[in-house]
């Protein structure tokens, strides 16, 4: 048999209902007492409403974060793309310049033995008058000219 929900609009049934006692609640009279059923129903409705409101708040917060991500994310992606292209163009330009410099530095300069000997003697004279900051560069240049002289002599 299906239990009927209480009719709260009928005042006669409302007043005539007796108030359950602990003895009436605990007797095994064929099912749960009506008050316990109503309390359980109200508790279930309350839990359902709380869960529903929580889900709505969680979904709203998720959508707000998603919208903020789009608002701030897309412009930052476009900015990163522009910066990346700018940096790539700078790297390509630097590679072109360095390859042009290295091509120019690999070009040989033709000196005769007498010209190299004159350069070597001039560098030795400059070494005696050189400042300490220029000493390393001068020594390196003297070494290169010396190697060139020895390769021409042999």
What's the pLDDT tens digit per position in 54-99? 999 999 999 998 888 888 877 887 888 888 888 888 888 888 877 7
Tell me, yes or no, whether 152 and 134 share the same domain: yes
Sign of CA dihedral 114, 115, 120, 122: positive
Note whether residue 51 is domain-resident: yes
3-state secondary structure of 63: helix
Note whether residue 48 is domain-resident: yes
What's the pLDDT tens digit per position in 113-152? 787 788 878 877 777 776 656 667 777 777 888 888 787 7
Tell me, yes or no, whether 141 and 122 share the same domain: yes
* Residue 154: domain span: 109-154
pLDDT confidence of residue 27: 47
pTM for the model: 0.32
Note whether residue 116 is domain-resident: yes
Cβ proximity of 13 and 7 under 8 Å: yes
Tell me, yes or no, whether 97 and 140 share the same domain: no
Tell me, yes or no, whether 66 and 123 share the same domain: no
């Amino acid at each position: 048999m299906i239990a009927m929900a209480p009719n709260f609009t009928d005042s006669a049934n409302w007043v005539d209902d007796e108030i359950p006692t602990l003895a009436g609640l605990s007797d095994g009279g064929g099912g749960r007492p009506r008050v316990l059923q109503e309390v359980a129903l109200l508790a279930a409705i309350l839990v359902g409403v709380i869960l529903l409101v929580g889900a709505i708040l969680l979904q709203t917060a998720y959508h707000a974060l998603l919208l903020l991500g789009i608002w701030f994310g897309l412009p930052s992606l476009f900015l990163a793309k522009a910066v990346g292209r700018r940096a790539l163009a700078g790297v390509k330009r630097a590679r072109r310049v360095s390859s042009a410099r290295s091509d120019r530095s690999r070009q040989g300069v033709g000196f005769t033995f007498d010209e190299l000997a004159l350069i070597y003697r001039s560098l030795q004279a400059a070494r005696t008058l050189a400042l300490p900051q220029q000493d390393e560069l001068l020594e390196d240049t003297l070494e290169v000219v010396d190697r060139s002289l020895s390769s021409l002599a042999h």
